[in-house]
Amino acid sequence: MTKESLEVSHLKHRLKIFDMLYISAMGLGTSVESVEGARVRPVVHVTESFGGGVAAAIRDYSRNYPAAEHHLVYAPRKDAPIEASDVSEFASVTRLPQGHLRRITELRRLLRGHSEAVVHAHSSFAGVYVRAAVAKSHQRPIVYTPHCYGFERRDTGIAQRSVFWALEWLFAFNTTAFAACSQREEELSNWPLTSAKAVHVPNVVSSDIPVTDVHVPSGRIMHVVGAGRLGPQKDPLFFRDCVVALRNAGHEIAATWIGGGDTDTELMLASAGVETTGWLTRQGVLESFKSADVYIHSARWEGFPIAVLEASTMGVPIVARDISAFVGVNIPLLISSPADLVEAWPGLQSASVRRDMVRSASLALEHCNDAEQARALRDLYDSRIPVASQV
């Protein structure tokens, strides 16, 4: 990365377990940006996974809270490549080193230079890194967005999920506020015996995606798409099973998975006649959506998927798996099995039904807009940041 603001130092000593749990906030004074005579603290976004929906959400938060200076601290991942344009709007960009303990140590050092910033951790690993590295304070509040809690996973046993829950509860005591990306996540973030407030900050569609009329299929062959990192969460094998079930029922289907990741999964998709695009630029993803007749959201668990918002905005009918992320959101077609999709498929071939589905999805997702997100961010950040007149 050519835009990094700091060189990552090597680890000089190992952290002790209890030391990680009881760290005092250190350092005084950091520059603040003057906005209309007020002092606004910068926001330091920390993520272990700057890619996909998390990266989009962080960029949207930055765009919808322009009063503050936004900094990015992230750990690179081979399966989530980024481009310089993805981080160009941040005041500084810092890469974390490899290894969990080294990342916690580096964050402790780095955040000394941001002693009066809002520290916003995104996703589970970053939530651990930040809250193990520094203590919340009035001067440096800690905000955490899980983007789906680890104990919501469905690829682990109940014992492991219980451990995840207990760790999240313990770290909640060192959290100023939760920025929940769905109603479900907001409910889960009301932790017992803790003082942290949960605020629903809805995910939004990027401003570069124009609102499009409902997509009309161009021929007999219907093109279905799925999207995301190939792995257990997005469950591309459920997507494959839907495609196979439709074809076995006599429907002509072209199928594309937008994304990449696990090679074995790519081979299994290919064996079922599902094309995978590999990782695409953002523009490439949007171009792929344009050719879709139906978007199938196959994930087994989620925070709240931005891909669903993008499909709705681009006029693509949505078929979503019936998971807890959609509690309180009236997505018009939720399915629990491929057989449910086969049963609903004739309607998806009807122009009037497609229009109704896109219209209904748009109404169900109307709260996911820039104005609502900006309002929530102001409530989240401003209420926890003392604002003083400029001297």
pLDDT digits (tens, 9 = 90+) for 154-182: 999 999 999 999 999 999 999 999 999 99
Single out the residue of 5, 169, 19 nearest to residue 105, CA to CA: 19
For residues 185 and 386, the model is more confident at: 185
In this prediction, residue 80 carries a pLDDT of 67
**Are residues 235 and 326 located together in one domain of the fold?**
yes
Is residue 10 included in any domain, yes or no? no
For residue 141, give the CATH number of its domain.
3.40.50.2000
At 146 the three-state DSSP class reads coil
**Are residues 191 and 156 located together in one domain of the fold?**
yes
Residue 288's pLDDT band, with cuts at 50, 70 and 90, is: confident
Count of structural domains, the chain: 2
For 118-130, give one letter per residue: b (16+ CB within 10 A) or e: bbbbbbbbbbbbb
The highest-confidence range among 77-91, 213-227, 349-363, by mean pLDDT, is 349-363
Is residue 187 included in any domain, yes or no? yes
Q: Is the pLDDT reported for residue 34 higher than 50?
A: no
The stretch 337-359 carries a mean pLDDT of 95
In this prediction, residue 180 carries a pLDDT of 97
Q: Give the range of the structural domain holding residue 46, as residue numbers without chain letter.
A: 17-204+370-382
Is residue 4 included in any domain, yes or no? no
In this prediction, residue 1 carries a pLDDT of 42
Count the Cβ atoms, other than its own, within 10 Å of residue 43: 26
Q: Annotate 173-195 with three-state secondary structure.
A: CCCCEEEECCHHHHHHCCCCCCC
**Are residues 186 and 268 located together in one domain of the fold?**
no
